[in-house]
Amino acid sequence: MAAVSQHHSQRNGETSFDRMRARLLGGYWVFRAPIGYKYEDTMGHGLLLVRDEPIASILKEGLEGFSSGRFANQAELARFFESKPVFMAALSADFVRIQKVKDLLTRPIYAGYISYMKSREGRVWNVPFREGKHEPIIDLETFEKNQARLSAKPKATLRRDTSEDFPLRGSVLCDSCGRPLTGCWSQGRKKSYPYYLCQKRGCENKGKSIPKQVIEDQFVALLKKLEPSKELLTAAEAMFNDIWEAKRKSVKTDQSAYQRQIKQVEKKIDDFIEMIANATNPTAAGLYEKKIEDLLRTKEVLAQKSANLGESQPAFKDVFEPSIRFLGSPYKIWKNSDFIWK
């Protein structure tokens, strides 16, 4: 009876594995819903991942902000997520670890794709990169930009103790040694006083404190001067308009170029498939499979870029004018925005 029971248990496990893998191959996620998604019973699909708002929108802003450079590194992206109480409640954590940020940036599921090549519970799932049935939170091009940024040389991390008390910490340099100033509170007889100072060993101004208000007033005065003239805006508008029109006219040429690249990638995939068929070394076959997965992802990126070129382009003024209004006065951003924007 024990042997029969064990046999049935194994058979049930194999059946469950086969069904789950078949569903993964069909583009459906079968494991726990990642943050930003939830499962919903959908007609024609069964349980399908759908966006979990407002968490999905916060995640979208963060991932797109990292790809565009709004967040200089993973630490700044972590700070952004930590500033969103709803996101932190969903994460069930007091702070966001850098490893968690990296996990969010490297999951293709947020770009609408599925890949699961891991071994789990003694079984090799071997589900290569493929388009999923769920709605993406970001597009594949944004996902690829994030992978490129992760593999690039890291930038200096935004300190966790950079706060609203000293928003210019790390951004203002010492006039003597050129190192970033730090900030601290100095205890007086009745209250504490904020100062910026240099702590570089050997600097002639080491330990010389400058009142916070003095530096920040000078910084605000500098920002007020950084407003483009009317002539500069007129020239910029003409230049960008020329570029905009040239790009619009080059869409067909670019689409043809993407199609040629796709055909080249498809040929490489066919070559690697043939190499796997002739491979006698399991290690080599595994490397070829990894290459095929990378090429499939490249093919999807090229296809999406080609499709995006065909989308209707917004009117130039609809894009240019809000951008100029935003960048035309850095002082207003500093004065009216929250700490993250500062």
Q: Does the predicted model carry a pTM greater than 0.85?
A: no
Which range is least confidently modeled, 97-106, 207-216, 236-245, 311-320? 311-320
Instruction: Give the distance, in angstroms, between the CA of residue 230 and the centroid of all CA atoms in the same chain.
Output: 35
**Residue 214 and residue 218: Cα distance in Å, rounded?**
6
54: amino acid identity, one letter: P
Instruction: List the beta bridge partners of residue 124.
Output: 119
How many CB atoms are located within 10 Å of the residue 73 CB? 17
Tens digits of residue pLDDT in 96-155:
899 999 999 999 999 999 888 776 666 777 888 888 999 999 988 899 899 988 887 665
232-243 as b/e: b if 16+ CB within 10 A: eeeeeeeeeeee
Domain range 19-155, its CATH number among 3.90.1150.10, 3.90.1300.10, 3.90.1750.20, 3.30.70.100: 3.90.1750.20
First to last CA, the chain: 70
Which range is least confidently modeled, 143-147, 152-156, 222-226, 233-237? 152-156
How many CB atoms are located within 10 Å of the residue 166 CB? 23
Tens digits of residue pLDDT in 240-261:
888 877 777 777 777 787 888 8
Instruction: List the beta bridge partners of residue 55.
Output: none
Tens digits of residue pLDDT in 257-297:
788 888 888 898 888 888 888 878 877 877 888 888 888 88
